[in-house]
C-alpha cells in the first residue's frame, strides 16, 4: 500500500477496504485510474462489505489518487448503488472535488429500473389492453364532439368567446393561402385522368369522352378527395401543431385560468373556417382539374376548346356537383376535428407535438377515405 512519492504517479489503480474500530468502512482509492490501464473490479470489495459485519456508514479516502477519468467513476457508481440498496450511508467528502460533482450529476435523476427489461404480456392480455385503449379513444372522441356541439350552441346564442380576427385569419389560411398547392395538384390530377382515359378511348375513336371522364370524376369525387388530402397534410397538421405547442407552453391552462373556454377561443374558429372553405376550394379544384383535362385534349388529340366545353357541360349534373360539395363539407369538418382533437390531446413535450401532428394527418386522411366509402355506398343504395 505504501509507496514513495516519486513512484506514485505511475502506480496502477488500487481499491482496498479498511474497517475502523467503530465499525465504519473506508474505501481507499489510490494510484492512477485511467481507462488506458487495467483497473481493478469492485466485485471483490463489494463481497467484503457483504460478508463482513454490518456497517452504518462508508467513506472514501482518495488522498493517494494520482489521476482519474471515467473508469474511476464507473467503479464508484457501482459502490454507491450497492450501499444504497444495503442501506449504508455514503460519505463522499474524501474524494476529489471533481469526482464528487460528477457523482452528484450521476445520481441527480434516478434511473428507470424498468427501462431495460420489459415484461412481455401474453397475447390475450395484449389484445385486451388494445381493445380497452381503443374504447377509451372512442369515448374521448365522443366527448370532444359533445364539447364542440355545446360550443356551437354558445356561438349561436352569442356567448362564445373568440376574436373575430382569429376567424378571418383562419379563413385566409384555409382558403386563399391554399390556392397554389390546390391548383397544382388539381391540374395534375386532371392531366392524369385524361391520359389514363385516352389510352382506352383512343382505341374506339372516342377521345371526346375524355371530357366526360375528367368532368364526372373531378366533380363527383376526386376534386373533394384530393383537396381533402391536401388540407389534411397542410391545415390539419398546422392545427394540431399550433394547439399542441400551446399545450406545451401552458397557454391553454392560462386561458382556462382567465375564464376563457379553449374550445371557443381556439377550436371553434378553425372548425368553422375549414368546414365552410372546403366547398369553395373543391369548386376551384374541379375547375383546375377540368383545365388539366382540357390541356391534354387540345394539345394531344386535336379537340377544340368549344367541343370540350360543350361535352363537359352536357355531362355534368347538379346531382354530381351536389355530391362533391357535400363530401367536401364533411371532409372539412373531419379534418379540422381531427387536427384540433390531436392538438388538445397533445402531451407536454416537443416530441409529443410531433406525434400529435403525425396522428392528425393520418387520422384525417383515413377519415376522408372512410367517409368517401360511406357516401358512395349510400348514394349507390339510393340510386343517386
Are both 47 and 171 inside the same structural domain? no
123 inside domain: no
- Bridge partners (DSSP) of residue 61 are 28
Q: Which of 174, 175, 189 is nearest to 219 (CA)?
A: 189
Are both 41 and 189 inside the same structural domain? no
Residue corresponding to grid cell 464528487:
100
pLDDT tens-digit map of 279-318: 999 999 999 998 888 888 888 777 888 888 888 888 888 8
The answer to whether residue 195 scores a pLDDT higher than 50 is: yes
Q: What pLDDT score does 280 carry? A: 92
Question: Which domain, by its residues, includes 333?
Answer: 159-381
Q: Is the dihedral of CA 320, 321, 325, 331 positive or negative?
A: positive
Are the C-beta atoms of residues 342 and 245 closer than 8 Å to each other?
Answer: no
133 inside domain: no
137 inside domain: no
Are both 174 and 240 inside the same structural domain? yes
Residue corresponding to grid cell 479516502:
61
127 inside domain: no
Q: What pLDDT score does 109 carry? A: 59
**Structural domain tally of the chain?**
2
| Distance from C-alpha of 150 to C-alpha of 256, rounded to nearest angstrom | 17
154 inside domain: no
Are both 337 and 216 inside the same structural domain? yes
The answer to whether residue 331 scores a pLDDT higher than 60 is: yes
Pick the range with the lowest mean pLDDT from 14-18, 173-177, 203-207, 376-380.
203-207
Are both 359 and 297 inside the same structural domain? yes
The CATH number assigned to the domain holding 55 equals 3.30.750.24
Are both 212 and 320 inside the same structural domain? yes
Residue corresponding to grid cell 454490518:
54
45 inside domain: yes
pTM higher than 0.75 for the full model?
no
pLDDT tens-digit map of 137-185: 888 888 888 888 888 888 888 777 777 888 888 888 888 888 899 999 9
> Given pLDDT bands bounded at 50, 70 and 90, which one contains residue 7?
very low
* Mean of all residue pLDDT scores within the chain: 82
Instruction: Indicate the Cα dihedral angle 185, 367, 327, 228, nearest 10°.
Output: -20
pLDDT tens-digit map of 92-126: 888 888 888 887 877 775 555 544 445 677 888 88
Return the higher-pLDDT residue of 65 and 181.
181
Amino acid at each position: 500500500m505504501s509507496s514513495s512519492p516519486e513512484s506514485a504517479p505511475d502506480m496502477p489503480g488500487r481499491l482496498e477496504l479498511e474497517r475502523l474500530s467503530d465499525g465504519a468502512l473506508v474505501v481507499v482509492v489510490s494510484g492512477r485510474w485511467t481507462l488506458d490501464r487495467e483497473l481493478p473490479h469492485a466485485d471483490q470489495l463489494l463481497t467484503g462489505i457483504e460478508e463482513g459485519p454490518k456497517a452504518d456508514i462508508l467513506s472514501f479516502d482518495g488522498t493517494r489518487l494520482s489521476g482519474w477519468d471515467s473508469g474511476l467513476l464507473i467503479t464508484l457508481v457501482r459502490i454507491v448503488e450497492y450501499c444504497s440498496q444495503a442501506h449504508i450511508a455514503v460519505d463522499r467528502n474524501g474524494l476529489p472535488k471533481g469526482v464528487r460533482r460528477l457523482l452528484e450529476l450521476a445520481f441527480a435523476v434516478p434511473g428507470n429500473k424498468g427501462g431495460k427489461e420489459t415484461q412481455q404480456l401474453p397475447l390475450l392480455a395484449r389484445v385486451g389492453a388494445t381493445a380497452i385503449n381503443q374504447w377509451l379513444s372512442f369515448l374521448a372522441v365522443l366527448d370532444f364532439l359533445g364539447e364542440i356541439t355545446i360550443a356551437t350552441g354558445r356561438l349561436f346564442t352569442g356567448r362564445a368567446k373568440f376574436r373575430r380576427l382569429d376567424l378571418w385569419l383562419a379563413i385566409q389560411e384555409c382558403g386563399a393561402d391554399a390556392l397554389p398547392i390546390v391548383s397544382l395538384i388539381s391540374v395534375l390530377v386532371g392531366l392524369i385522368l385524361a391520359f389514363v382515359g385516352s389510352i382506352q378511348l383512343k382505341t374506339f375513336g372516342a377521345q371526346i369522352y375524355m371530357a366526360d371522364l375528367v368532368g364526372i370524376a373531378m366533380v363527383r369525387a376526386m376534386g373533394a378527395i384530393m383537396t381533402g388530402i391536401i388540407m389534411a397534410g397542410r391545415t390539419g397538421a398546422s392545427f394540431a401543431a399550433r394547439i399542441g405547442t400551446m399545450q406545451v407552453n401552458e397557454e391553454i391552462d392560462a386561458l382556462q385560468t382567465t375564464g376563457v373556454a379553449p374550445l371557443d377561443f381556439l377550436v371553434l374558429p378553425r372548425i368553422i373556417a375549414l368546414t365552410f372553405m372546403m366547398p369553395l376550394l373543391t369548386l376551384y379544384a374541379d375547375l383546375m382539374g377540368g383545365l388539366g383535362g382540357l390541356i391534354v385534349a387540345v394539345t394531344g388529340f386535336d379537340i377544340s376548346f368549344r367541343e370540350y366545353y360543350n361535352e363537359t357541360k352536357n355531362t355534368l349534373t347538379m346531382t354530381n356537383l351536389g355530391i362533391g360539395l357535400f363530401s367536401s363539407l364533411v371532409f372539412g369538418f373531419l379534418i379540422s376535428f381531427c387536427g384540433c382533437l390531436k392538438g388538445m390531446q397533445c402531451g407536454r413535450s416537443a416530441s409529443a407535438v410531433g406525434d400529435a401532428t403525425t396522428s392528425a394527418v393520418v387520422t384525417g386522411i383515413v377519415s376522408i377515405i372512410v367517409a368517401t366509402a360511406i357516401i358512395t355506398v349510400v348514394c349507390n343504395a339510393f340510386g343517386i
